[in-house]
Structure 1
Amino acid sequence: MGNRYKRVIKKGEIIAAARRCFAKHGFARTTVEDIARVVGIKAGSLYHYYDSKETIFREVIIGEGKEMLGWLKGEVTKEKTAKKKVLRYIRARLEHFRSMTNLLDVSIQVVVEVAPLVDKLYREYLDQEVSFLAGIINSGIKDGSFLPCNGLRIASAILTMSESVKYKAFRMADTLSASEVDYSAVDKEVSYITELILAGVAND
């Protein structure tokens, strides 16, 4: 087994351990020493693989993002019409985000602070989401559910709106914990505006 392969395996072990630690203690209370202890190495050795807890957290988010996209696509298949698929997708992605913040016990401050670390990754995932959502809208155009329109622009508008509503809720929250944000209110507002957007292109 080559050194490069061993390094990949060890990094995977560190990320798996970090995810367990974040789930048990939360991001703020988890230390590099905690993660190293679970892996079975010294904290100093862990720094040969990752330079900070924030970098490890970023890798956890990358893994979550990949899982999220696969899960969301599976959720969409449960619906039959294009409109219901779009609404299911938007509500499911918010539910996934809520579940992730609960799991990692992430504070709103951490969500804001870690944003620059994952900004490029976030844009890449969002591009993939826009493309997938546009595909659903375009299928609705083909089957006559929607009027001819620019599916990419509609998808981009819906996702941009969803993110804006979510982060507005963060900024206005009376709590410091992202898991305590009123996601039911966010869900209602996002669903309502999404339905308004889709009503504008509905072929009634």
Structure 2
Amino acid sequence: MDKKESVKKQIGKAAKECFLKYGLEKTTLDDIAKSMGLNKSSLFYYYKNKEALFLEVAVNEGEEYLKSLQEKTLKKKSVEAMVLFYFEERFNYYMAVLNLNKITPETLQKLIPGFLELYESVMQKEIVFLASLLKEGIRKKEIFKADPIRLATSLIIMSDSIKHYTEQRAVLEKAEQIDYSKGLDEIKYLLKLIFRP
């Protein structure tokens, strides 16, 4: 790891601690810099603003979480249990990240364009993993015959669409927190449709 990457890793760790302590909205670049013994201008060499730093921290943490989630998912007994567990945990994780970092629906709206760009590579990893589960379900005749990559892609997109719809409703209703429980129920319903009775 070169010096720049090492410093970015240290900044990411300090930022994560500040985001957890103060929330995204109240954390400043000064807070992050001070926790590292630097000045704010030093951070601008690595990140253009606090939101860019938050997005990178979130994506890195998400990749670590994804690896852990996939390992836990593979321990479930049936393909249906694996797929259901995967989506439930995915929703729960997303909700926990937003609540831990005290992100309001309005701030989330500002972050989504940058997040989607960074998330694309993570999503491709999710699709490959989910497709491998679905392929096994098709082989075992637990799932109707389908193209596993297309089905995995569709399920991820539908899941994310439901999350985004839930977030949009929270913005329109000026909710203080986002309640994903109805969205999770919709995902469970969709998943039940792909498994043979």
Contact between 1:134 and 1:151, CA under 8 Å: does it hold in 2?
yes
Whether 1:57 and 2:50 are equivalent positions in the alignment is no
Superposition deviation, residue 60 in structure 1: 0.6
For 1:161, what is the secondary structure of its paired residue?
A: helix
4+ aligned runs moved over 4 Å, structure 1: none
Cα distance between partner residues in 2 of 1:170 and 1:120: 18
2:192 maps to amino acid: E
Q: 2:68 aligns with which of 58, 68, 71?
A: 71
**Which residue is 1:95 aligned to?**
92
**Count of residues paired in the alignment:** 195
**Which residue is 1:29 aligned to?**
26
Whether 1:166 and 2:163 are equivalent positions in the alignment is yes
Cα distance between partner residues in 1 of 2:126 and 2:68: 12
2:72 maps to amino acid: E
Unaligned 5+ segments in structure 1 are none
Whether 1:193 and 2:155 are equivalent positions in the alignment is no
Whether 1:137 and 2:130 are equivalent positions in the alignment is no
Superposition deviation, residue 124 in structure 1: 1.7
Contact between 1:21 and 1:34, CA under 8 Å: does it hold in 2?
yes
Cα distance between partner residues in 1 of 2:33 and 2:119: 28
Q: CA offsets, 1:95-127, max 9 Å, x none?
A: 110111122111212222112223232222112
Contact between 1:109 and 1:176, CA under 8 Å: does it hold in 2?
no
Superposition deviation, residue 79 in structure 1: 1.0
Whether 1:150 and 2:144 are equivalent positions in the alignment is no
* Comparing 151-160 and 15-24, the one that deviates more: 151-160
Contact between 1:75 and 1:92, CA under 8 Å: does it hold in 2?
no
Q: CA offsets, 1:173-201, max 9 Å, x none?
A: 23444xx21222221121112212x13xx
Q: 1:116 aligns with which of 113, 116, 125?
A: 113
Cα distance between partner residues in 2 of 1:51 and 1:88: 37
1:41 maps to amino acid: L
* Comparing 162-171 and 114-123, the one that deviates more: 114-123
Q: 2:78 aligns with which of 76, 81, 97?
A: 81
**Which residue is 2:35 aligned to?**
38
TM-aligned CA distance change 1:145 to 1:131, over 3 Å: same
% identical equivalent positions: 30
Unaligned 5+ segments in structure 2 are none
Contact between 1:72 and 1:92, CA under 8 Å: does it hold in 2?
yes
Superposition deviation, residue 29 in structure 1: 0.7
Contact between 1:175 and 1:181, CA under 8 Å: does it hold in 2?
no
Q: CA offsets, 1:21-63, max 9 Å, x none?
A: 1111111111110000101111122222222112211211221
